Amino acid sequence: MDYLIATHNMKKREELQRILAPLGIRVLLAEEAGVELTDVEETGQTFEENAFLKAESGCRESGMPCLADDSGLCVDALDGAPGVYSARYAGEHGNDEKNIQVLLKALEKVPEGKRTARFVSVACCVYPNGEKIAVRGECEGKIGFDQKGTGGFGYDPVFIPEGMGGRTMAELTAEEKDSISHRGKAVKALANAIESRED
């Protein structure tokens, strides 16, 4: 069965595809499905609200089940920031390098023991009949003092997940990342919810 994903981010699509493929689900970008999606303004105050806005709009415009996720980094020393503003923390949407620099600057005087953080991902699926599934995944860790690794995207080079030997998310293999990542957890929960829906 084909599901649309409300993103232009190829890496997000690949991550979702790896986890949903065993269910016989093919994840398509709008371009592959031959539909044009409106860019949804993420006006929600929570990851749940933003994920739903994107999935609902994509489903309405395509007539297909639509997947969307909203995710971000929540840093304890910054009262949960950047949170829902993670992708545009430096003021320009999707500039990973600038976002990381702004984050490291904000944490400049914060000692190692107080740099705790978590990645949060909310995955949502909206079906043409109006049915909605929303699940949440979190990955605990801390923010490093400099960037390490070349894999992943976003804040991966500075996020050190718990239990991975002090490596950043960007230093993990795709399989390692899927096994512990916030999006991996959210998408696995989504896969379980989709599977039980179809039983």
Q: Which two tokens stand for residue 193?
A: 């919810």
Closest listed residue to residue 74, CA positions, set 139, 127, 169: 139
Count the neighbouring beta carbons within 10 Å of the beta carbon of residue 13.
17
Tell me the C-alpha to C-alpha distance, in Å, between residue 142 and each of 79, 113, 121, 139: 14, 9, 16, 10
Backbone angles phi, psi at 73, to 5 degrees: -110, 130
Count the neighbouring beta carbons within 10 Å of the beta carbon of residue 142.
20
The C-alpha angle with vertex 66 and arms to 64 and 68, in degrees rounded to 5, equals 165
**Active-site annotation holds for 70:** yes
Closest listed residue to residue 155, CA positions, set 91, 51, 74: 74
Q: Say which of 39, 69, 70, 156 is annotated catalytic.
A: 70
Look up residue 115 and give its amino acid.
R
- Give the catalytic positions in this structure: 70
